[in-house]
Amino acid sequence: MSTNVILLGPPGAGKGTQAKVLVEQTSLAHVASGDLFRAALRDGTELGMLAKSYMDRGALVPDEVVINMILERIQAPDCAEGVVFDGFPRTKEQAVALEEALAKQQSSIDVVLYLGVPSDVLLRRIGGRQTCKTCGATYNRYYFPSHRPGICDACGGELYQRSDDTLETAQHRLDVYFGQTMPLIEYYQRQGILHEIDGQREIMWVTEMMLKALNQYLPTSA
Ligand code: AP5
């Protein structure tokens, strides 16, 4: 039996930050649609170029493209014990496609952890985010900067700002979230699997709440 969890929330809510900690503390794999697109772009693939044309505008990549990519990714051996989905699903069509694919493997989504954070806080977090080009570690200019400006504490790699983290694009990403992704909150609420966590609180507190909510679905205690 596998354990599958969705991290749902607006851009900047802390999904990526929390997913990294959750997979360190469990046997689950981290499947992040945005990271997969950015990796495809770094590799210079057609998928990467296509995704970039949407990401740079803060628009959603078409459902069919995202769904195919994710359903292929979850066939990998590291997903056998379950997955932390980060940034997917983002539309009802994606949610249904995931459910159907998991059902074919006699599996399902166990819990959806929804991180609520107000828009002004999100825009500040996104504007301050810096990511390591080498290891992917995330920092924040306002909340927890790296010790040496522009240099990753963990590996010495160069920090960069995502091209979709400008104020204008971030604002559009939020609008897209409110229009296209927020309906999933009610969708999962109706299924009785939505668990809300205050994403405004400090990172360690949020992790603790997530592990508490997830614990009952894990084969062994996290
Ligand atoms: P994606 O990469 O998924 O971005 P996102 O969902 O917009 O989320 P973010 O990565 O911006 O935020 P996060 O919640 O992970 O926050 P983080 O932990 O980094 O998607 C990018 C694009 O790809 C989309 O716009 C779309 O074009 C495309 N795409 C991806 N998936 C798709 C899909 N399914 N369908 C269609 N298109 C898709 O934290 C943010 C900052 O805040 C960091 O600096 C962090 O250090 C800080 N922080 C985190 N938690 C806290 C806290 N508790 N207190 C203070 N600071 C915090």
> Contact at 8 Å (CB) between 184 and 95?
yes
The domain spanning residue 109 has which CATH number?
A: 3.40.50.300
> Contact at 8 Å (CB) between 55 and 172?
no
Give yes or no for residue 99 having a pLDDT over 70. Answer: yes
> Contact at 8 Å (CB) between 29 and 23?
yes
What average pLDDT does range 103-125 have in this prediction?
96
pLDDT at 222: 45
Domain hosting residue 96, numbered range? 3-117+181-217
Name the DSSP letter for residue 76: S
Residue that the structure tokens 């927020």 belong to = 182
Percentage of the residues of the chain whose pLDDT score is greater than 70: 99
Query: pLDDT class for 1, splitting at 50, 70, 90?
Result: confident
165 part of a folded domain = no
153 part of a folded domain = no
Sign of CA dihedral 131, 137, 138, 142: negative
Q: Which residues are annotated as a binding site?
A: 12-17, 33, 38, 59-61, 87-90, 94, 129, 132, 135, 138-139, 152, 155, 162, 173, 201
Query: pLDDT class for 127, splitting at 50, 70, 90?
Result: very high
Structure tokens at 74: 């979850």
Q: How far is CA 209 from CA 6, 113, 114, in A?
A: 15, 10, 11
**DSSP string for residues in 135-187:** T--EEETTTB--SSTTB-TTT-PBEE--TT-SHHHHHHHHHHIIIIITHHHHH
What average pLDDT does range 118-136 have in this prediction?
94
Expressed in angstroms and rounded, the spacing between residue 19 Cα and the centre of ligand 1 is: 11
Give the span between the Cα atoms of 74 and 132, in whole angstroms: 25
212 part of a folded domain = yes
155 part of a folded domain = no
Nearest one of 137, 122, 200, 116 to 167, comparing CA atoms: 122
Structure tokens at 217: 């679905």
Q: What is the pLDDT of residues 24-59, one digit of tens each?
A: 999 999 999 999 999 999 999 999 999 999 999 999
Structure tokens at 179: 């229009």
Residues 6+ apart with CB under 8 A from 158: 132, 133, 134, 150, 151, 152
| Mean confidence (pLDDT) of the chain | 95
Give yes or no for residue 69 having a pLDDT over 70. Answer: yes
Q: Is 216 helix (H, G, I), strand (E, B) or coil?
A: coil
For ligand 1, is residue 180 a contact (CB within 6 Å)? no
Give the span between the Cα atoms of 63 and 91, in whole angstroms: 8
pLDDT at 15: 97
154 part of a folded domain = no
142 part of a folded domain = no
198 part of a folded domain = yes
87 part of a folded domain = yes
Could you tell me whether strands 3-8 and 82-86 are parallel, antiparallel, or unpaired per DSSP bridges?
parallel
For ligand 1, is residue 10 a contact (CB within 6 Å)? no
Number of compact structural domains in the chain: 1
Q: Which residues are annotated as a binding site for AMP?
A: 33, 38, 59-61, 87-90, 94, 162, 173
Q: What is the pLDDT of residues 180-219, one digit of tens each?
A: 999 999 999 999 999 999 999 999 999 999 999 999 998 7
